Amino acid sequence: MTESIRRSGEYENFENPYQAPSSAPVNPEWPPPPAYQPVQQQPVPQQPAQHHPMQQQPVVEPTHVWQTQAAGSGGHGNGNGNDGGTALLTAVAAEPAPAKKKRARGPLALLAAVAIVAAAIGGGTAYGIQELTGKDEVVSSSTTTSVVPSSKTGDVASIAAAVSPSVVEVSATLSNGTSTGSGVIITTDGEIVTNNHVISGANSIKVTTSDGKSYTAKVVGTDSKKDLALIELENASGLKAATLGNSDGVQVGDTVVAIGSPEGLTGTVTSGIVSALNRDVTVSTDESQGQGQGQQGGGEGNWPFQFGGQEFNGDTGSSTTTYKALQTDASLNPGNSGGALIDASGNIIGINSAMYSAAADSSSSDAGSVGLGFAIPINTVKADLAGLRAGGSDS
């Protein structure tokens, strides 16, 4: 009979659900005890219980970060049953991922968008900027505006196609005949700038647009000192307003295009250059000043003016006024008065007002333009618009 040898007190304090105390009977329904008895561990103050090497470890989540912690702080042979210590793996909470920055919304985003828009406008070209001079349909611009594509700058055909719908023929019925001139649409509802001498003394005014439509017009205001007039079409809408440029930026030698209705030939296009700036042109301010311009059935067919101490196209009379004008060699003839002088980008830089023309009774060899024409700078027109809308200085 083999005797089991055990050390004193080795198993008394081991708590095993599968093994009853030595004094208790064995229950046959209990499962058999393990083949070995684990060594009882001495309790260690403030230290987690030590696991047997064969005991099942807790399930570890793959996203956890693990670090080792010594199970005991004693060294070898300290008598506390934890020689060398046991490395215990403890889960360290993963740091939360940094939150994604949200895109700014609300006022900050709006201000940023406005700043970008403002920068885009300030740094490049501005097209269709409207000048608020009583009616916001007036299209005003600086010399950086391009009515025609930049690749077509200076191309006469492109300029004519873009601006011709904004130039009209003006026919004024006078007491002794008719006066034919031109005009420039400045608002979509039919405000038109022309020369005062084109409509002065008129009993009625008819306007024909580039597409052949006819309208009746009324005089809104006149300024004989600047030879300007503002008329308005009746029952008109959806017209193409011209883009008014900046005549202060014009230089001698700049390419220009003139559009008007010389001798009743609506939509005639000519081209040339700016020949000079700030020319003093003297014209008549008499009420009957328009009765010689482009007349049919009387008159010379010319508009009299003075320049450089000489008179052209007849007597200007005793009542005159002088204004600064742009000089051009673009071909102008009777009927061009009130029409558009246009820069290479398609902006209106002047209203054609005076031109030298041979006398009606001259021979055919003297007929036609001699390249001596003048236009009222468009900045003068823009400065006078408010006064013209109020009736003008002649009212």
Task: State the catalytic residues.
Answer: 197, 227, 337
Q: Which helix (H) or strand (E) holds 258?
A: strand 255-260
- Spacing of C-alpha 269 from chain mean position: 31
The rounded distance, in Å, linking the Cα atoms of 12 and 9 is: 5
Number of H helices, E strands in the chain: 4, 18
Give Cα separations from 169 to 86, 200, 293, 321 (angstroms).
107, 16, 13, 25
Q: For residue 361, give every residue at least 6 positions away whose Cβ sits within 8 Å of its Cβ, in sequence order, or none.
A: none
Tokens of 355: 């031109």
Q: Which two tokens stand for residue 60?
A: 């570890």
- What is the spatial distance between Cα 326 and Cα 373, in angstroms, rounded to a whole number? 8
Instruction: Please name the residue that has the structure tokens 């040339």.
Output: 272
